[in-house]
Amino acid sequence: MLTDKEISNLKPREKAYRVADGGGLFVEVRPDGKKYWRQAYRFAGKQKMLAHGVYPTVSAKAARAKRDDAKALLDQGIDPGQQRKVEKLTKELASALTFEAVAREWHSSRSAKLSDKTNHKTIVALEQHVFPHLGVLPIADIEAAHIAVVVKKLDTAGKGETARRVRSWIDAVFRYAILHGKARANPAAAIRCRDLGLGDANEKHFASLAIADLPAFLRAVDDPAKPVDYRTRLALQLLLLTFVRPGELAWAKWNEFNVDAREWRIPPERVEGKGRGMKMREEHVVPLSDQALAALEQLRPLTGRGEFLFPCIGDPTRGMSDNTLRQAVQRGLGFPVTAHGMRATATSALLELGWPAHIIDKQLAHRERRGATFGAYSHQAEYLPERRQMMEAWGRHLQALKTGAKITPIRSKAA
């Protein structure tokens, strides 16, 4: 056997040469001076070679241990070179089947069916809350207890809704993995939110403004003493006058508005940035009242030369943040409600004033009515004449509330 001193003293030559160590193991000295451990062996009548690393990174003791392991496999009738290839492929396959790898594949497979906003929120939540804990684990090795820790941690941090969604997404990843032969069982299926003390996943409702508070709210929007930017005030006016979703208004573009036709056509999707279009990717028509058109004309000198009605401050290539409207309502105007809740306020007020539910439904971009909650989404231009009439009446109604005029129920003839 070679000593470390003997190996260290081996000098490079013009051509590579070998120095035996024993038992088929030898040192191969290259012209560049590097020294490689190699082992010669025969299997099935064929001469073969096995690499054991580079000296001194791999010491003589470690190289001999590898030689002995290879001989033990040969004694069992196993080709050590082939065994090494199998082990390498197994490791590569295990790496490709980590939870994160499969989860990203699942996310990509569903991205075409969902909005950019939904896709973005899903992958960000997984990256923040799941991958740091489960990402590097082979998906086949994950147990229910692993998932429970992730979900419970979110709930303890006061993120109950996120915890429920994360559990649901993990469950979906495992179902995808089983379908594509990447896992045999779904440990997430054994976990129920109530078992973890999360309670039932109730439907999410947005805090809405009471009908009785509408006059005060409208006057607050016009109150110069309130710390709200002028453009944001106009955004809040348009939000009430059109009762679209805040994200749809925040990313509204000037080319979507036709003043002559008195309408705003929200496209099914806005590709640039992460602009929000309609949830079901169908165009939605919003009739514009005199009051809405007046708000647009006030806004046009401020942002009319750009792309967006309400560009993000500091980045005119993007629409304003949804959070801007929420902060304006809650901190600026002092009302403990959400911008999204304005849709519920308009709905309640219009129903109280006598407008039929199916007309309101269509203007809200809803498809059907389920009990007391408006259901799935649709954006077709059904009942458009009646909706134009309703939106005109709604604009006049809000104007009257702001000035303190006596209100008479609308009692639409379109019922």
Task: Give yes or no: 274 in active site.
Answer: yes
Q: With contact defined as beta carbons under 8 Å apart, do 318 and 324 qualify?
A: no
DSSP result, 101-150: HHHHHHHHHHGGGS-HHHHHHHHHHHHHHTHHHHTTSBGGG--HHHHHHH
Of the listed 104, 274, 281, 326, which one is catalytic?
Answer: 274
Catalytic site residue 245?
A: yes
- Tell me the C-alpha distance between 290 and 393, whole Å: 10
Distance (Å, rounded) from C-alpha 385 to C-alpha 346? 19
* Closest among 147, 201, 199 to 173, alpha carbons compared: 147
Sign of CA dihedral 58, 64, 68, 71: positive
Is 377 a catalytic site residue?
yes
CB count, 10 Å around CB of 238? 23
Contact between 229 and 247 (Cβ < 8 Å): no
Which one of 52, 366, 387, 388 is the catalytic residue?
Answer: 366
Q: Check if 17 is active-site.
A: no
Query: Going by DSSP bridges, is the β-strand pair 25-29/35-43 parallel, antiparallel, or unpaired?
Result: antiparallel
Beta-bridge partners for 369 = 374
> Catalytic: which of 38, 340, 362, 379?
340
d(CA 382, CA 368): 12
Maximum distance among all Cα pairs of the chain, rounded to whole angstroms: 107
Type and span of the H or E element at 52: strand 46-55
- Give the Cα separation of 209 and 409 in Å (integer): 19
CA 180 to chain centre: 23
Burial of residue 380, with CB atoms counted within 10 A of its CB: 0-12 exposed, 13-18 middle, 19 or more buried: middle
**Angle, alpha carbons 40-20-29 (nearest 5°):** 90
Q: Are 112 and 119 in contact (CB under 8 A)?
A: no
| Residue 70 DSSP SS3 | helix
Residue 398 and residue 241 in contact, taking contact as beta carbons nearer than 8 Å: yes
C-alpha 95: how far from chain center: 24
Q: What residues are labeled active site?
A: 245, 274, 340, 343, 366, 377
